[in-house]
């Protein structure tokens, strides 16, 4: 199969990184407060503006932790499938070089010719797209696999990946 995989909140813990930025602005949130909502929907507008300014500088994306199990899962998937990493990097144009460096650091086995910096993901042609936002499945020709996140906890979607350790089994179930 050809599988396209999102970066932020799927391979990279951008949620954890943003929570640290909000904490630096004096705002902390419980998981319960964030279930079903984006950070920027819960945080005060002035804090959102400060965090967005930081995100647009780009360096934020160089210092994110990988999601648990992501490196092992991606390496295994690359053995059996044609894997592309597809990130809507145009949301933060200054992030591009940092995202490339981040991939090289945490996923050194990954072929960078298969790293796709895009805007609208409907351009992607793959069998499966793993993403934490269902809006990226709009117009996508393959099957969307929703990666579990607090913000999408209440989203009803037929295919959900709850942890990278389950990737192999979940993808097999989707094929049957």
Query: Can 6 be counted among the known catalytic residues?
Result: yes
In the complex, the smallest distance separating the C-beta of residue 7 from Mg ion, rounded to whole angstroms, is 7
Nearer to Mg ion, 11 or 44 (CB): 11
d(CA 142, CA 23): 38
Sign of the alpha-carbon torsion through 121, 170, 1, 8:
positive
- Of 6, 13, 131, 132, the catalytic one is 6
In the complex, the smallest distance separating the C-beta of residue 172 from Mg ion, rounded to whole angstroms, is 23
Please tell me whether residue 13 binds Mg ion under the rule CB under 5 A: no
d(CA 9, CA 66): 9
Closest residue to Mg ion, judged by C-beta, is 8
In the complex, the smallest distance separating the C-beta of residue 92 from Mg ion, rounded to whole angstroms, is 12
For strands 115-117 and 128-131, give the pairing. unpaired
Binding segment toward Mg ion, per CB under 5 A, in 8-16, 67-75, 77-85, 156-164: 8-16
* Angle at the Cα of 90 from the Cα atoms of 85 and 96, rounded to 5 degrees: 60
Nearer to Mg ion, 9 or 13 (CB): 9
d(CA 160, CA 62): 27
Query: Can 65 be counted among the known catalytic residues?
Result: no
The residue from 132, 144, 146, 161 that contacts Mg ion (CB under 5 A) is: 132
Please tell me whether residue 8 binds Mg ion under the rule CB under 5 A: yes
The residue from 4, 5, 6, 61 that contacts Mg ion (CB under 5 A) is: 6
Q: What is the DSSP string of 32-96?
A: HHHTTS-HHHHS-HHHHHHHHHHHHHSGGGGSPPBPTTHHHHHHHHHHHSEEEEEE-GGGSGGGH
Q: Which residues of this chain interact with Mg ion, rule CB under 5 A?
A: 6, 8-9, 132
- Residues serving a catalytic function are 6, 8
């Amino acid at each position: 199969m050809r599988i396209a995989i999102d970066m932020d909140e799927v391979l990279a813990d951008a949620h954890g990184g943003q929570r640290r930025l909000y904490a630096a602005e004096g705002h902390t949130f419980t998981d319960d407060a964030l279930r079903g909502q984006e950070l920027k929907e819960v945080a005060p507008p002035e804090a959102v503006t400060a965090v967005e300014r930081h995100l647009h500088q780009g360096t934020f994306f160089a210092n994110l932790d990988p999601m648990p199990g992501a490196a092992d899962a991606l390496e295994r998937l690359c053995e059996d499938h044609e894997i592309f990493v597809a990130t809507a990097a145009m949301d933060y144009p200054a992030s591009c070089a940092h995202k490339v460096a981040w991939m090289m650091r945490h996923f050194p086995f990954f072929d960078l010719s298969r790293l796709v910096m895009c805007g609208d993901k409907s351009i992607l042609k793959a069998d499966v797209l793993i993403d934490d936002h269902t809006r990226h499945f709009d117009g996508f020709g393959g099957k969307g696999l929703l990666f579990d996140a607090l913000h999408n906890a209440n989203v009803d979607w037929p295919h959900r990946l709850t942890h990278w350790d389950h990737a192999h089994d979940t993808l097999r179930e989707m094929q049957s």
